[in-house]
Amino acid sequence: MHSGIINVLKPPGMTSHDVVSFIRRLYGIKRVGHAGTLDPAAAGVLPVFIGNATRLVEYLADADKSYRAELTFGFETDTGDDTGKVINSCPYSRLDSKQIKDTLASFIGANEQIPPMHSAIKIGGKKLYELARQGQVVERKPRKIVIDSIALITESETKIVFDVTCSKGTYIRTLCSDIGRRLACLAVMSFLVRTRVGSFHLEQALTLEEITENKEQAIQNVDSVIAHFPLIKLSGQEAQAIRNGRSIPCNLTGSDLVKMYDDQNMFIGIGRETPQQENMTILTPVKILSPGL
């Protein structure tokens, strides 16, 4: 059975669920999931997990993400992007580059953001976009986000293009609207490409056509999602103990979670280091994957 991760270049016009369905059919496997939903109109990196690798989705869900976004000034829509219904407009005169750069920079750091109505967040058991389609607008609580970096790439009469790296849960549509407000003008997101999710980059992402042509080569190793974890190599006896769910003494790496391999360089799974007294550290299994992966 196939297990691993595919760095998919999601095309505009498909939902993230559409991509998952495509991969299910292509590989003939039911256990498929993805990390980080992309809007249908957006393109870019969508890591797709297949087989037992789906057990590791959570380790990418909290990863930071990078985007390249286009913002258009002069109007706002009910969705926050240019696919929605225009609900307001305003005159717009081209702004000074320094003013735009300074405004973008003002978003760096911790922020609060109100999620858009057209999102998959659930309130009262219903997704916000379902309520929005019924014409309902409900109160949404601000959520904490972090903007690590943001930079102006290009500008024109009514548009700017910027790169942003941000925390999980950041809505770029809302960020575009907020940027417009700080510049005293209405704005919408008019284009979006996700360029990175954790260690998965746009440069290595594969189109659906490329995946279809090279099904086996498209699958990355299961442990690629935790490439940044410290590595611990175990003896055959230690590996067997860990696979059986037992804790063992180990040398401290200074980390909490580690990736574990046996003496044949086979990936075992994820463990947690717990320092004990007298400089002793215990390695406890957290998530063990089949030795055949």
Q: For the segment 181-214, what is each residue's pLDDT rounded down to a tens digit?
A: 999 999 999 999 999 999 999 999 999 999 999 9
127 or 111, greater pLDDT: 111
Residue 88: band (very low, low, confident or very high) from pLDDT cuts 50, 70, 90: very high
Q: What angle do CA 87, 10, 28 make, to 5 degrees?
A: 130
Tens of pLDDT, residues 12-64:
999 999 999 999 999 999 999 999 889 888 999 999 999 999 999 999 988 89
- The distance of Cα 154 from the centroid of its chain, to the nearest Å, equals 25
Cα R_g (the chain), whole angstroms: 22
Question: Residue 154 pairs with which residues in a beta bridge?
Answer: 161
184: left (phi over 0), alpha (psi -120 to 50) or beta: left
Any bridge partners for residue 166, and if so which? 65, 147
Distance in angstroms (rounded) separating the CA atoms of residues 153 and 33: 33
Mean pLDDT confidence for 145-161:
96
Examine domains 4-63+199-225 and 65-197 and report if their fold is the same.
yes
What is the spatial distance between Cα 105 and Cα 77, in angstroms, rounded to a whole number? 25
Active-site residue (options: 18, 39, 256, 263): 39
Q: How confident is the model at residue 277 (pLDDT cuts 50, 70, 90)?
A: low
Torsion over CA of 191, 194, 195 and 197, rounded to 10 degrees?
170
- Could you state, in order of their start, the residue ranges of all structural domains in the chain? 4-63+199-225, 65-197, 229-288
Beta strands in 58-186 (DSSP E): 65-73, 75-77, 86-89, 109-113, 122-123, 126-127, 143-155, 159-166
Q: What is the per-residue pLDDT across 119-143, written as a single tens digit (0 to 9) for each?
A: 667 766 667 666 667 666 766 788 8
Decide which of 2.30.130.60, 2.40.30.260, 1.10.10.60, 2.30.130.10 is the CATH code for 229-288: 2.30.130.10
**Predicted confidence band of residue 6 (pLDDT cuts 50, 70, 90):** very high
- The rounded distance, in Å, linking the Cα atoms of 279 and 72 is 58
262 counts as catalytic: no
Q: To the nearest whole percent, how much of the chain has pLDDT over 90?
A: 71
**pLDDT tens string 215-252:** 999 999 999 999 888 999 999 999 999 999 999 988 77
Tokens 């299910």 sit on residue: 24
pLDDT at 20: 97
What is the length of the chain? 293
Q: Which pTM does this prediction carry?
A: 0.88
Superfamily per CATH, domain 4-63+199-225: Pseudouridine synthase (3.30.2350.10)
Classify the C-alpha dihedral 111-112-117-122 as positive or negative: positive
Spelled out in words, what is the top-level CATH class assigned to the domain 65-197?
alpha beta
